[in-house]
Structure 1
């Protein structure tokens, strides 16, 4: 498929991708668009002009809204139909309705540099999983027994916890250093203050589309039809606050202050060509047999390259590019998105359009592929030297973190763009 718009073929935002987002121009009302190269196509304009329809005639408009929730809720048949229609409209060989109408192009196509991006969905609920085996092993080795790093349940189910939806923020939003109780040593009482061990977590998140009724569950081999699309996630973590508070109920203030996501939601369909088998979940491979409700047919992993870079204030002032500290891949997730969703709903929990679920930190098998500073610096014992000569064990005020991702095979590239945020000093 060749788009009629000019774009860099290596951009990752060609017609094989077509990610959705919510944008505004010059302070106007947010509405839904789709990205093509360095252009944003305003779907609310195409809908109003009758060039596209979300799900056939008779339905209320869905693209003039400030979130993707209404479109997400229409389900996979509607998503597929619109994707096919957009590929036709934007192709050099397809429908002339947009390609040959300069007037419609002027109204519907906006330069990416002229838009402001917003949260793509109203996040009703947010769940964070713990699905990377290497990450769980690293953390278990640090804080428990290296010979028994994984807890007994880890290879049997996707471990997760309910996060805080209100503090999910779009890429580019500053992150204020959190405050809380800290316990510097075992033999001293806790103190109150700003976190001293502020960290990152490289994750892959997905949005639920059509959900399930309360009391029902989503079968693992039907779960893909309930996943609308994917975003990059930086689930910022205050390790010192978290360490003191997490027993016995898990993360709380150490995680709930900010979760950054990328603005463009990459459709499930765009990633299907990048499916790979994943680690076998069988006794033959040395792993416990999983229960039937988690057995997924076909390849369940995604071959998606991920990168983390950090920019200090000194680097920014000197015009130095952010320094890459990690290169990883989504293939290192032991539990797939479909298994996460199936497990989440197996008890009858109802998932709803716009619910966000994240993978947990993604860490590879080598030290340069770990997805958190906790691992990259091994609890601060191996500081990272930055290009400006500073060292980093954890994040300092003024540091800017940039995560990016792209799936590629041959001449097909599907980009995620970036999720970035800058650390600001604690308030008060």
Structure 2
């Protein structure tokens, strides 16, 4: 029994005591760090004294101070929080706020942002759509996690509206300029970095520098991207918005969800070899205007977060608290497991059933919600908080 009276705070629910994600909420008198318990937010500043020596890590305005701590401190804080929320007595100063009444904020200051391209099914589908007369995978793909450095300044918290971007597009007589007509999503998993600044992080040391997990929507303007991406890759077709969950699920919560990544068919280079598996058995759901249109499995991804972090830093680049990297679109072998609308519509040629309507790409007013769960310890369910966004017309950005 717990002093928290919330049916959603149970081991068979995604946000029971086995999950305990951190976020930042604002009740009108300033923002503060909170932990999610079921369908409530529990602000932590008033409870810092109950959390012992690590209580000071949650007294700030964001998660930045917590991210700058160590793995040992993260684990100690999580253990103390579990004791606090599962006890029978309500701690002095504890305030439970329904999520509906809590205004969420971007939970941490985003440093560098890197996006990978690590689903073989997604990469092969995109290759067949974009280069039908060529091999779908380029020769390097099975040897390294392909990625690019994105724009951290346009990472936004779940619930933030997304304005349809302008840009150049391919035309019959040269480039055209205007609002994107092929606006898309990419269902991804994001990894929030923390710990000391480091270079050349081996796969065996990834847990010292990965704090937790968020859902991530890599909004993509396919017509802008298709015109600009050769030879240097994504730029304006991606940089206008990236949405992440308001709540960061600690990496420790996924101890029972770890699985090996699929065999690439050849040996990995030494720096990408794992001494223990860091693939994750996450089950995603992509909801478009209330209709679930895809259910990809993250266990199908060809590279783990540990391999991605090792590759991201192997050249001497640093990883710092607040850095964010994304998995790349999560897709599977079946049509109903494709993680973006480019794949689901096969380049816009096939209609997607969305409620009583059909779509190929996003229309103004459309809303997309991406969620995920994973198996937890002792039969529990671990949740990753939703990432949601609604498309506003391009005119909404006029005058900005």
Q: Per the shorter chain, which TM-score range?
A: over 0.9
1:229-274 per-residue CA deviation (whole Å, 9 max, x = no partner) reads 0000000000000011111111111000000111110000001111
Whole-angstrom CA distance in 2 between matches of 1:174 and 1:100: 37
**1:314-356 per-position Cα deviation (integer Å, ceiling 9, x unaligned):** xxxxxxxx01110111111111001000110111111110111
1:401 aligns with 2:364: no
Q: Distance in 2 between matches of 1:339 and 1:92?
A: 38
Tell me, yes or no, if the aligned pair for 1:307 and 1:326 is still in contact at 8 Å. yes
Per-residue deviation, 1:63: 2.2
Aligned to 2:20, the other structure's residue is in SS state coil
| Structure 1 vs Structure 2 CA RMSD | 1.6
SS of equivalent residue, structure 2 residue 93: helix
The residue correspondences of 1:1-400 to structure 2 (distance < 5 A) are: 3-8=2-7, 9=10, 10-25=12-27, 27-47=28-48, 50-53=49-52, 55=54, 61-92=56-87, 99-101=89-91, 103-105=92-94, 108-145=95-132, 148-185=135-172, 188-213=173-198, 216-281=199-264, 287-311=265-289, 322-388=290-356, 390-400=357-367
The alignment covers a number of residue pairs equal to 392
For the residue of structure 2 that corresponds to 1:141, the secondary structure is: helix
Q: Is the 8 A contact 2:184 2:362 kept in 1?
A: yes
TM-superposition CA deviations, 1:44-76 (whole Å, max 9, x none):
1111xx1114538xxxx3323222111111110
Query: What SS does the aligned partner of 2:74 have?
Result: helix
* C-alpha distance 261-54 of structure 1, shift in aligned 2 (>3 A): farther
How far 1:146 sits from its partner (Å)? 6.1
Distance 1:248 1:20 in 2: 40
Gap change, CA 1:54 and 1:361, over 3 Å in 2: farther
State how far apart, in whole Å, the 2-side matches of 1:395 and 1:178 are. Answer: 12
Query: In structure 2, the residue corresponding to 1:52 is in which secondary structure?
Result: helix
TM norm structure 2: 0.94
In structure 2, the CA distance between the partners of 1:363 and 1:52, relative to structure 1 (3 Å rule), is same
Equivalent position SS for 1:271:
helix
Q: CA deviation at 1:418?
A: 1.2
Determine helix, strand or coil for the equivalent of 1:55. helix
Determine the C-alpha separation between the residues in 1 that align with 2:128 and 2:266: 20
The DSSP-based 3-state class of the residue aligned with 1:51 is: helix
Work out whether residues 194 and 426 of structure 1, in 8 Å CA contact, stay in contact via their aligned partners in 2: yes
Structure 1 alignment gaps of length 5 or more:
94-98, 282-286, 312-321
Measure how far apart 1:43 and its partner are: 1.2
Asked whether the 8 Å contact 1:55–1:74 carries over to 2, the reply is no
Provide Cα deviations, 1:256-304, integer angstroms capped at 9, x if missing partner: 00001111100000011111222124xxxxx222110010122221111
Corresponding residue of 1:316: none
**TM-score of the two chains, using structure 1 as the length reference:** 0.88
**Aligned residue for 1:420?**
388
Distance in 1 (alpha carbons) for counterparts of 2:255 and 2:31 = 29
Question: How far apart are the structure 2 equivalents of 1:260 and 1:290?
Answer: 32
Measured after TM superposition, the shift of residue 148 of structure 1 is 1.8
1:82–1:135 CA distance, 2 compared to 1 (3 A): same
Q: Which runs of 4+ in 1 moved over 4 A?
A: none
Cα pair 1:3 1:14 within 8 Å, conserved: no
Q: Is the 8 A contact 2:13 2:380 kept in 1?
A: no
- Equivalent residue of 1:391, what SS? strand
